[in-house]
Amino acid sequence: MHAAASQACALLKVLANPDRLLLLCQLTQGPLCVSELESILGIQQPTLSQQLGVLRDEALVTTRREGKQIFYSIASSEAMAVMQVLYQLYCEKPNGATS
């Protein structure tokens, strides 16, 4: 039980940064390269690289190189499950809602 609690805390600690949360949220839609993430999220490249490094170090994302581009995708099923719950709670519009 303590080991599971430690793992959950580690994941939540990583998600506690808004840039990392945005990155993982975007990556739930599928793999994206660094330039696409920068364009979509408006996160400056140095910050983007730093936060992607944290996500890599925590084994939450994997990389795939195609030529000069590096594509990132979510590697952790636990992170994907948490992101889906967060999306349902904070991002989905209720039925009939308009913007």
Annotated domain spans of the chain: 2-84
Residue type, 41: L
pTM of the model as a whole: 0.86
Token code pair at residue 72: 């990132």
What residues contact residue 55 under an 8 Å CB cut-off, 6+ apart?
14, 20, 23, 24, 61, 72
Q: Say how many C-beta atoms besides its own lie within 10 A of residue 77's C-beta.
A: 8
CATH fit for domain 2-84, picks 1.10.10.10, 3.40.50.300, 1.10.3720.10, 1.10.287.90: 1.10.10.10
pLDDT for 91 equals 85
What one-character DSSP code corresponds to residue 60?
S
Looking at the predicted structure, is the pLDDT value of residue 94 above 70?
no
Measured in whole angstroms, the distance separating CA 16 from the mean position of its chain's CA atoms is: 11
Q: Dump pLDDT digits (tens) for 22-71.
A: 999 999 999 999 999 999 999 999 999 999 999 999 999 999 999 999 99
pLDDT for 97 equals 56
